[in-house]
Amino acid sequence: MSGSRSAVSTPSSLGSLGETDRRHVMHPFSVLQQHERAGPRRMMVRGSGSTVYDEDGRGYIDAMAGLWCVNVGYGRQELADAMHEQALRLPYYHSFSSMATDTPALLAERLIDLAPGRMSKVLYGTSGSDANDTQIKLVRLYNNLLGRPQKKKVIARQRGYHGVSIASGSLTGFDGMHAGFDLPLDGILHTRAPYRLREAEPGESDADFVARLAAELDELIVVEGPDTVAAFIAEPVQAAGGVIVPPDGYFAAIQEVLRRHDVLLIADEVVCGFGRLGTWFGSDLLGIDPDLITVAKGLTSAYVPLSACIVSERVWRVLADEAGPRSFAHGYTYSSHPLAAACALANLDVIEHDDLVAKAGERGASLNAKLRAAFEGHPLVGEVRGDGLIASVEFVAQRSPTRLFEPLGQVSARIDAACLERGVITRALPESDTISFSPPLVISEAEIDEIVAVARDAADVVAAELA
């Protein structure tokens, strides 16, 4: 391992920046009382390629690309130049009342060309959460315009992650993200995830597992009433849910059920889009034919916030034709932000010029193969999962039959912390004992080797402590 990342160290006290953060910043998905007492785990101040650096100058391989999002890596001059030029030329103008700016129009044309299915229009926001909120509103408007006021329910999946706002947080399928916030909202339903380790019956084949999941979805729609169910939302690969890769044939079976009941399909491509799976979209890889697509994260590689709802011709024709002269009463101050769109165009240029989609497929195959080899036979490992440049390792108290740790989450948190101490950033996923990997698409083979070695070492250390 490289010398800049090999030493095991923990900050002994907060620097001035950490103290400022401790006193004034409220952190998401953090223990508030603990943060107020101890402050940040690390204060990052710089990034280059796949590495970020803290205020003490120590480097860490970011095996999570931030939060699944810095696809082109840190410090890309091309993106900085595009934003700088746009900020000087026209930093902002709104898109209300048919006012327009150039970069969002050019970006929309490009997204329509790249997207799977017969897509027609792009509606911009700033985050995956607000985009999935918008999808719910589009689905409601679509059915209202068709004279179907009861057809409003949306089905998501357990362990799916679709955001944290009131509506998108309701779609998200984690009990811990509902408790305390009075979620989910009425009209949001959840069905079983294609999570073999926990959900498959003993000896059940992939084909039988898929058939059972499709039958359960069909039954849910029938029980609720097909005239009340409007849409189904799914990530191609469930990211925060555990990097859950569906078995072959899963989406074909699900889509057959949806078509039979005239239920729209929303593909949440916030993580999988823009090369993560070795294809431009996860839908391309898994045979998904969506009516609506949600994108964010990799759209700008998170250099600046931007999200989008990509709307199919099928949905658009209803929204445009049936509404007639009525105004579309939705949108945000920052919708179609010209600076964010300029950044996204430069980001797509980098992905294409550097052939990062193909490289993500190659590096992803290497990462997954090396993780499986490194953790084969490990007493704590229940499963290594992944596809493209995304992977996870799930830890269990007993491998066969599978028995989970109780309470969930403590073992993976310790392994994640041990990785951080050794200079590699992973992520302990919610409501499980799973750590995930989703590095920038520019990750090198040497960095993959270090990620895998550190993860195995950290798991061994924690396993020895548990023993």
Torsion angles phi and psi, residue 95, rounded to 5 = -120, 15
Contact (Cβ atoms closer than 8 angstroms) between residue 67 and residue 60: no
pLDDT tier, 410 (very low <50, low <70, confident <90, very high otherwise):
very high
Convert the pLDDT of each residue in 15-34 to its tens digit: 799 999 999 999 999 999 99
Tokens at 192, concatenated? 């079983």
pLDDT tier, 5 (very low <50, low <70, confident <90, very high otherwise):
low
- Residues forming a β-bridge with 398: 403
- The pTM of the full predicted model, rounded to 2 decimals, is 0.95
Average pLDDT score over the chain: 96
Q: For residue 11, what pLDDT is reported?
A: 44
* Amino acid letter, 355: D
Q: For residue 13, what pLDDT is reported?
A: 62
Outline where 46-76 has alpha helix (H).
65-68
Cα separation of 464 and 451, whole Å? 20
Convert the pLDDT of each residue in 315-334 to its tens digit: 999 999 999 999 999 999 99
Q: For residue 237, what pLDDT is reported?
A: 98
Q: For the CA atoms of the chain, what is the radius of gyration? A: 22
Residue 287 has pLDDT above 70, yes or no: yes
Q: What are the structural domains of the chain?
A: 3-72+355-466 (3.90.1150.10), 78-353 (3.40.640.10)
Percentage above 70 pLDDT, the chain: 97
Cα separation of 233 and 314, whole Å? 17
